[in-house]
Amino acid sequence: MIHPRPRTLTAAVIAALVLITLSAGIASAQMQIGPNEHFIGFVNGSRARPVVLTVCPGPARRGRMGAVVGGQSMLVAEVTHARGFTGPLSQVYAWFVPRRGEKTPTMLTFSTYGEPQDIPTTVRVPCGGRGRVEFSSCPYLAPCVYGWTPDVVRVRFGNIAV
């Protein structure tokens, strides 16, 4: 019986992971964002309804806002095909889409793919329920040029003070 050497097995696993990543069409980290590129956004490392933790002490009530818990992040990745498209622009902005009557959201600005940015703990979001994070090469409510398309990640808010 042939037993693979640990080094050979490790190298094979690493090669397989690299191949899977490349076949998924995601660009490697630390590449500058450029014009006419497709992108996707991630919240806390996920696109599948990630949970954004909040701190909302006291009684729960509808429409209540609270602070985002520290240590959470957003990230932008370049992909071969996706809804998000930079158009002629070379940055991507991300923000929690505000509900009617809420203040202008805090935006994160990305100029490089694959570099996560912390969500500031000063950002206020609903204490519970669902929301959206928009990743766009056009800033929030700014008049913009033709050709850009945003990417939206649907999120859930979870209050850790309950």
Comparing 54-58, 86-90, 91-95, 133-137, the range with the smallest average pLDDT is 54-58
Question: What pLDDT score does 7 carry?
Answer: 39
The token duo for 123 is: 């950002």
Question: What pLDDT score does 19 carry?
Answer: 34
Instruction: Considering only residues 25 and 93, tell me which one the structure prediction assigns the higher pLDDT.
Output: 93
Sign of the dihedral through C-alpha 86, 52, 49, 14: positive
In this predicted structure, the answer to whether residue 57 has a pLDDT above a threshold of 90 is no
* Dihedral angle computed from the Cα positions of residues 79, 83, 84 and 88, in that order, rounded to the nearest 10 degrees: 100
If DSSP codes are grouped into helix, strand and coil, which group holds residue 19? helix
16 conformational bin, left if phi > 0, alpha if psi -120 to 50, beta if neither: alpha
| Single-letter residue type at 24 | A
Residue spans of the domains in the chain: they are: 28-159
Q: What is the pLDDT of residues 117-135, one digit of tens each?
A: 999 999 999 999 999 999 9
C-alpha to C-alpha distance for 123 and 95, rounded to whole angstroms: 10
What's the whole-number mean pLDDT along residues 138-160?
A: 94
- By C-alpha distance, which of 51, 94, 45, 93 is closest to 69? 51
CA angle 133, 139, 143 (to 5 degrees): 130
Would you call 110 exposed, middle or buried from its count of C-beta atoms within 10 A (0-12, 13-18, 19+)?
Answer: buried
Question: What pLDDT score does 26 carry?
Answer: 55
Question: What pLDDT score does 15 carry?
Answer: 37
- What is the percent of the chain with per-residue pLDDT over 70, rounded to a whole number? 81
Q: What is the pLDDT of residues 21-53, one digit of tens each?
A: 433 455 556 799 999 999 999 999 999 999 999
